[in-house]
Amino acid sequence: MSIKSLSNFNLGSSGATLVIATCAIFFGLVPAFVRELQGLGTGPATIALYRYGFSALVLLPFIPLEKNKRGGALLLASAGAVLGLSLIGYLEAITVAPVAAAGVVYMSYPVFASLFAWLLLKQAPTFRSFAAAGLVLGAAALLLDPATLSPAALSALLWAIPAPVAFGFLVVVLSGLAGELNSLERTVCGLLGSLIGLVPVAMYEGQGTLLPASSTEWGWVLLMGVVTALVPQVLFSFACQKVGPARTSAAGSFELPTMFLVGWLIFGESIGFREAMSAAMVLFAILVAPTISGSAQGRGTIKPSIKYL
């Protein structure tokens, strides 16, 4: 079955929801690969480049070349470049800070999506927007406590904040500003933009080379690309169109508890009341956050069709 033929695949809402939840679990495994590769000496920009590169190469045939699509493609590529650069801080935070804390910071992106929807799509904030923002701020206050984090971890988490801001912006671009691009075209434009932004930084990290330095590193890169990027990204892209933004956000929230389990089972990080409460607050914020529609008037909802982390 080709990638393009997936759009015509008969998948019911229950099956699509299960696919999204499964993809979210695979996205949540990213910290395990990040720490392993950083232990081998790979920098965060290079790790992000490797992960995006797999999906971008496979989706390269879907680059939109029509003149009427160039504006949307350029805007998406620009948003992707901003996200790619901002993820450097997030991936560094995964290495330095507890995985649970980094996950809570990143999963705050629906709040920033609502903010950008207000600024760019003229969708006024609602009670649900303020409720979601309050829950995220409360969760952050629980985990980003200087009394419980080392100065290095706290600094890393603060540098991770641009990642959810950039992803919130990308969600709005995908949902309401991408013009006539279809889901595959939107995905490849965003990915290529991220690669363009990451290549110079990755070249600097690798002292002029972008290739893995050993067979062990090659193995981890290939496994990360297939398990946490290519397969779940493509499946997520099509499944989310079957169920809409609200259920996509709910099923996609499985990524956060997966990150908590990775931190606990693989890295021996403790999960106490503070961590459990912050996770519950962020998950509830995702559920109550308003969906982003594809116009300033809230008509013609267009579902976001890309998932990076």
| Interatomic CA distance for residues 115 and 123, integer angstroms | 9
| For the ranges 47-51, 205-209, 276-280, the one whose mean pLDDT is highest | 47-51
> Residue 308 in 3-state DSSP?
coil
- Residue 132: the pLDDT is 80
Segment 82-94 mean pLDDT: 92
- Give the contacts of 68 (CB within 8 A, at least 6 positions apart): 179, 180
pLDDT higher than 60, residue 163: yes
Q: Which of 143-152, 159-168, 273-282 has the highest mean pLDDT?
A: 159-168
> What string of DSSP letters covers 118-160?
HHHH-----HHHHHHHHHHHHHHHHH--TTTS-HHHHHHHHHH
CB 234 within 8 A of CB 6: yes
| 82-to-43, 78, 85, 98, 305 alpha-carbon distances in Å | 18, 6, 5, 25, 18
Q: How far apart are CA 229 and CA 26, in angstroms?
A: 8
